């Protein structure tokens, strides 16, 4: 018996939008996140990202697309623990052909942009707080000037206060023109976005514009 993780899902996201995709466990949102992140390809249908039809790309082309078009931010941060903040952010540029001084300056600029204190650039990532680690992860996501930032449960390992700080950082990035897609199962996190897509049983239940909650707005 065939089970469809997603069934007839169709939507578009414009450049500069901040969209949350929310649903309970088993709703299909993780499958949708993997397709949006070019980690999986749909069995049927089409997916276009920044002019590329992702559903027709081979493995090497998908790898290039992920590297150049998508900035990932994960729940578990995915930082190298015994590596400095600066080197963690520089890592995606390792095989870019960019000279080391330029890579370092770009990484520093992304860290400042993400709101990371310059005094922490030389710290090992395992010497940081959860909120600081997530800011480093955001800076690393920005390093290749991606078409979208895809955040998968980015506050899952953070307390409420730190979660609000991280969500404020995403809002500030969006206000500067970045396109952000956030996957979550928490309504108060989803409420930080300007649009919410509700997924259940593999279909879109609702797709609505949203006014962010006051406690997530920049202060």
Q: Which pLDDT tens digit goes with each residue over 77-101?
A: 999 999 999 999 999 998 888 999 9
CA dist., res. 72 & res. 87, Å (int): 17
pLDDT at residue 162 greater than cutoff 50: yes
Can you give the pLDDT at residue 1? 62
Q: How far apart are CA 178 and CA 114, in angstroms?
A: 12
In this model, does residue 193 exceed pLDDT 80?
yes
Residue 217: the pLDDT is 47
Count how many Cα atoms sit within 13 Å of the Cα of residue 201 in the half-sphere of its side chain.
1
Residue that is written with structure tokens 């790898």 in the block: 63
Angle between helices 100-113 and 130-142 (to 10 degrees): 130
Per-residue pLDDT at 15 exceeds 90? yes
Range 184-211 average pLDDT = 95
Q: What is the pLDDT of residue 97?
A: 85
Above 50 in pLDDT, residue 218? no
Looking at residues 178-183, what average pLDDT do you find?
96
In whole angstroms, give the CA distance from residue 186 to residue 190.
6
Overall average pLDDT of the 176-196 stretch: 95
pLDDT at position 41 over 50: yes
Which residues neighbour 219 within 8 Å (Cβ) at sequence distance 6 or greater?
A: 168
The pLDDT assigned to 25 comes to 87
**pLDDT tens column, 143-155:** 999 999 999 999 9
User: Percent of the chain beyond pLDDT 70?
Assistant: 96
What is the overall mean pLDDT for the chain?
Answer: 91
> How does pLDDT run across 111-161, given as a tens digit for each residue?
999 999 999 999 999 999 999 999 999 999 999 999 999 999 999 888 888
Report pLDDT digits (tens) over 50-84. 988 998 899 999 999 999 999 999 999 999 999 99
The predicted model scores a pTM of 0.91
Query: What is the predicted pLDDT for the residue at 214?
Result: 54
Domain chopping of the chain, boundaries: 18-212
* Portion of the chain with pLDDT greater than 90, in percent: 76
Res 215 pLDDT > 60: no
CATH code, 18-212: 3.40.50.300
């Amino acid at each position: 018996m065939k089970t469809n993780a997603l069934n007839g899902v169709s939507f578009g996201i414009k450049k500069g939008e901040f969209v949350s995709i929310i649903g309970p466990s088993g709703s299909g949102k993780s499958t949708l996140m993997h397709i949006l992140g070019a980690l999986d390809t749909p069995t049927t249908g089409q997916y276009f990202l920044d002019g590329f039809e992702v559903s027709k790309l081979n493995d090497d082309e998908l790898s290039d697309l992920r590297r150049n078009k998508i900035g990932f931010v994960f729940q578990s941060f995915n930082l190298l623990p015994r590596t400095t903040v600066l080197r963690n952010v520089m890592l995606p540029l390792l095989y870019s052909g960019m000279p080391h001084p330029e890579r370092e300056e770009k990484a520093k600029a992304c860290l400042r942009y993400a709101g990371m204190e310059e005094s922490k650039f030389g710290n090992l990532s395992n010497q940081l707080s959860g909120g600081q680690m997530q800011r480093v992860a955001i800076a690393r996501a920005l390093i290749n000037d991606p078409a979208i930032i895809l955040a998968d449960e980015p506050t899952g390992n953070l307390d409420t206060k730190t979660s609000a700080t991280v969500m404020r950082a995403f809002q500030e990035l969006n206000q500067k023109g970045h396109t952000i897609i956030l996957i979550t199962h928490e309504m108060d996190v989803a409420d930080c976005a300007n649009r919410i897509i509700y997924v259940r049983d593999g279909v879109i239940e609702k797709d609505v514009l949203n006014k962010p909650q006051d406690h997530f707005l920049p202060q």
